[in-house]
Chains A and B, each alone.
Chain A
Amino acid sequence: MSAVERMYLQFLFFAYSAVWVVMFGFLYRMLRRTRQLEEELAMLKEAYGPESKTPLDPGFDGPSM
Chain B
Amino acid sequence: MRVRQWRDRWVWVLLPLMGVALYLNFVGTPDDRILGASQRIFYVHMGTATTAGLAFTVTAACSILYLVTKNLAFDVVAAASAEIGTVFTTMLLVTGVLWGRAAWGVWWTWDPRLTATVILWVLFLAYLLVRGWTESVEPRARLSAVLALAAYVDVPIDYMTIRWWKSIHPVVITSHGIQMAPVMVLAMFVSMAAMLALYGAWMQLRVRLGRVESGLDVLKQRLRSRMEE
- Main DSSP-derived SS at the B contact region: helix
Contact assessment for B41 and A45 in the assembled complex, using a CB-CB cutoff below 8 Å: no
Query: 1/0 per position for A18-60, CB-CB distance to B under 8 A?
Result: 0110011001101100110110010011001110000010100
- Main DSSP-derived SS at the A contact region: helix
CB < 8 Å: which of A6, A8, A23, A37 contacts B212?
Answer: A37
| Chain B residues within 8 Å of A37, by CB | 209, 212
* A24→B197 CA distance, assembly (Å): 11
| Chain A residues within 8 Å of B223, by CB | 48, 56
User: How large, as a class, is the contact surface on chain B?
Assistant: 20 to 34
Q: A12-B41, A16-B25, A31-B11 are in contact. Are A5 and B36 (CB under 8 A)?
A: yes
Contact assessment for A16 and B22 in the assembled complex, using a CB-CB cutoff below 8 Å: yes
Contact assessment for B8 and A35 in the assembled complex, using a CB-CB cutoff below 8 Å: yes
The yes or no answer to B14 lying at the interface (CB within 8 A) is yes
Contact assessment for A27 and B14 in the assembled complex, using a CB-CB cutoff below 8 Å: yes
* A48→B79 CA distance, assembly (Å): 28
Stretch of B124-132, B175-183, B214-222 at the chain-chain interface:
B214-222
* A29→B84 CA distance, assembly (Å): 16
CB < 8 Å: which of A13, A27, A49 contacts B11?
Answer: A27
* A51→B74 CA distance, assembly (Å): 28
Q: A20-B22, A27-B14, A35-B8 are in contact. Are A1 and B215 (CB under 8 A)?
A: no
Contact assessment for A12 and B37 in the assembled complex, using a CB-CB cutoff below 8 Å: yes
| Chain A residues within 8 Å of B37, by CB | 1, 5-6, 8-9, 12
| Chain B residues within 8 Å of A12, by CB | 26, 37, 40-41
The yes or no answer to B31 lying at the interface (CB within 8 A) is yes
Contact assessment for B219 and A38 in the assembled complex, using a CB-CB cutoff below 8 Å: no
Interface residues of A (CB under 8 A from B): 1, 5-6, 8-9, 12-13, 16-17, 19-20, 23-24, 27-28, 30-31, 34-35, 37-38, 41, 44-45, 48-50, 56, 58
Give me 19 A-to-B residue pairs in the complex whose CB atoms sit less than 8 angstroms apart, sorted by A's number.
A1-B36, A5-B37, A8-B37, A12-B37, A12-B41, A13-B26, A16-B25, A20-B22, A23-B198, A24-B14, A24-B15, A24-B18, A27-B14, A31-B11, A37-B212, A41-B215, A48-B219, A49-B222, A56-B226
Q: Top 5 A-B pairs ranked by shortest CB distance?
A: A9-B37, A20-B18, A37-B212, A13-B26, A41-B215
Q: A34-B205, A35-B8, A41-B216 are in contact. List 13 more A-B contacts (CB 8 A).
A: A9-B37, A12-B40, A12-B41, A16-B25, A23-B198, A24-B14, A31-B11, A37-B209, A38-B212, A41-B215, A41-B219, A44-B219, A48-B222
